[in-house]
Amino acid sequence: MGVRVTGLNSGMDTDSIVEALVSAQRTKVDNLKKKQTKLSWTQDAWKSLNTKIYSFYSKTLNNAWLSTTFNLKKNVVSDTSIATVSGGSVNGTQSLEVNKLAQNAYLTGGKMTRADGAALTDATKLSELTGYAGGSSTITINGKDIKLTDDMTLSSLTTKIKSAGVNVSLDANNGRMFVSAKKDGEAGNFTISGDTTALAALGLETIDSTTASHDATTSTGASFIRGQDAEIKLNGAIFTSDTNNFSVNGMSITALKETNGTSVSVSTNTDVDAIYDKVKDFFKEYNELIKEMEKLYNADSAKGYEPLTDDEKEALSDDEVEKWETKIKDALLRKDTTLSDITTTLKTAMMQSVTIGGKDYNLSSFGINTLGYFEASDNEKGVYHIDGDKDDESTSGETDKLKAAIASDSDRFISFFNKLAKGVYDDLGKKMKAIKNVRSAYTVYNDKEMQRQYDDYADQISTWEDKLKDLEDKYYKQFSAMETALAKINSQSSSLAGLLGTGTSS
């Protein structure tokens, strides 16, 4: 577009006239931009809600239909200084002995000194050690030969020892090396052999961990602790582990102290309170999701409100713009049929009956209900309350049927809740299946369809903006031609007036 000439000769406000002539087309562009903006906000609203729905589906619901989630046990150990116990699959009292605690193989080297009495450092050479015979020699750790030379430093030696599959560190201040196993328990035991003179100078000594005593002090002043596995006896059966942790029949046992032939009792019972709290946590998350979905669906109408153009925003304060846009955003999913369908799916699935042992149960069987239509607050008619829940002012005064049911027959309740959750999980999962060109997997709204619509708006806006520019250029060219013509007329008039003026004077 060239330079636009304004009404210098005509005295007309060309810009205002052109703006008026293209106003209808500009309105079309503005309306398309408003629709695109509103669609973008709707996409964001759905993305946010979909994230919460998918989290409930993939985590809360997925865990709820697993039997292990609610199979919670409480254990009492008669002497907690001997062991700690958690979990378990069956109730009852068991006998436990801790025969041995796990120990990693560990060698505290004897003290090394320099022949000249100087302080030991990482850079000290082997030839400078007291008792070192000089020349080359070999020591073997875990079957790996390490060749020693006079000019080898202690730092270099520790690096080579590490390559033999053990941990080693040098404490130069105390003049000792510390060697430990990389593997836990008996499997980590290591051997040291080789030139006895060199080993003595290094504070080490030939060690065969298979025959060494559990805690032995050698002639060099080194101390060796042999690695061993932990061993417990549970109800007369022996179990071993390379650590002090055991997993037996769903029960986690941590051995703390050897019992020396005596036993402690471990009593396992259903943890009623823990199961009850798990159920409360489930419904807390479910209720929050339902309330948000109901709030979005029942939002106040924003009829008459549309996204603002840049010019419209300039006429308002920032606070007014924010309130205007919030009004629109809050109502984006109002009366949305997809949202209604998802909400109904969840509510219906939660009301289903489950057959256990030939008898039908539902949530109401365990004192879990929604409030009456006139009792429930707005957007909370699908919210569940647990009778006797001390934290729920609506039902805290009711008889606690849930806790009583868990205490009397936890297997029945757990089986019911697992099957109920699986049914809800399956029904919601069907609503989240991918549909080609319509929605992605694990998505409850038509994200692909919305994106195509958004892109279509972008194409339309681009097309109309090009048309608008061409139209403006057309009008400006017409006004430019008019201005040029007027300029010529004015020039001719001036020349004629000049000639006439000259003739009169003569």
Q: What is the pLDDT of residues 68-96, one digit of tens each?
A: 899 899 999 999 999 999 988 888 999 99
Predicted confidence (pLDDT) at residue 505 exceeds the cutoff of 50: no
- What is the length of the chain? 506
Determine the Cα angle at 124 with ends 119 and 129, to 5°. 80
- Report which of residues 461 and 478 the model is more confident about: 461
Q: What average pLDDT does range 457-468 have in this prediction? A: 84
DSSP 61: I
Q: What is the pLDDT of residue 23?
A: 66
Predicted confidence (pLDDT) at residue 235 exceeds the cutoff of 80: yes
Predicted confidence (pLDDT) at residue 34 exceeds the cutoff of 70: yes
Q: What is the pLDDT of residue 12?
A: 58
Question: Band of the pLDDT at 214, cuts 50, 70, 90?
Answer: low
Q: How far apart, in whole angstroms, are the C-alpha atoms of residue 177 and residue 158?
A: 8
- Report which of residues 220 and 138 the model is more confident about: 138
Backbone angles phi, psi at 430, to 5 degrees: -65, -35
Q: What is the pLDDT of residue 216?
A: 62
Q: What is the pLDDT of residue 44?
A: 97
Q: What is the pLDDT of residue 465?
A: 78
Q: What average pLDDT does range 403-423 have in this prediction? A: 96
Q: What is the pLDDT of residue 71?
A: 87
Query: Which pTM value belongs to this model?
Result: 0.72
Question: Band of the pLDDT at 488, cuts 50, 70, 90?
Answer: confident
Q: What is the pLDDT of residue 211?
A: 62
Lowest-confidence pick of 147-151, 213-217, 436-440, 467-471: 213-217
Residue 390, judged by CB atoms within 10 A of its CB (0-12, 13-18, 19+), counts as exposed
- Report which of residues 492 and 58 the model is more confident about: 58
Q: What average pLDDT does range 476-499 have in this prediction? A: 70
Average pLDDT, whole number, for the chain?
A: 90
* Sequence-ordered strand ranges (E) for 262-414: 264-270, 354-356, 359-361, 368-370, 384-386
Backbone angles phi, psi at 161, to 5 degrees: -65, -40
Predicted confidence (pLDDT) at residue 9 exceeds the cutoff of 80: no
Q: What is the pLDDT of residue 440?
A: 96
* Sequence-ordered strand ranges (E) for 130-173: 137-141, 144-148, 166-171
Predicted confidence (pLDDT) at residue 506 exceeds the cutoff of 90: no
Q: What average pLDDT does range 384-404 have in this prediction? A: 95
Q: Which structure tokens are listed for 177?
A: 């090396």
Predicted confidence (pLDDT) at residue 386 exceeds the cutoff of 80: yes
Q: Which structure tokens are listed for 269?
A: 């019972």
Question: Band of the pLDDT at 501, cuts 50, 70, 90?
Answer: low
Percent of all residues in the chain with a pLDDT value above 90, rounded to a whole number: 75
Predicted confidence (pLDDT) at residue 349 exceeds the cutoff of 70: yes
Give exposure, 280-317, as e/b (b: 16+ Cβ within 10 Å).
Answer: eebbebbbebbbebbebbebeebeeeebbbeeeeeeee
Q: What average pLDDT does range 447-476 have in this prediction? A: 85
Percent of all residues in the chain with a pLDDT value above 70, rounded to a whole number: 88
Q: What average pLDDT does range 247-271 have in this prediction? A: 94
Q: What is the pLDDT of residue 16?
A: 72
Predicted confidence (pLDDT) at residue 2 exceeds the cutoff of 50: no
Task: Report the chain's C-alpha Rg in angstroms.
Answer: 42
Give how far Cα 481 sits from Cα of 474, 485, 486, 491, Å: 11, 6, 9, 15
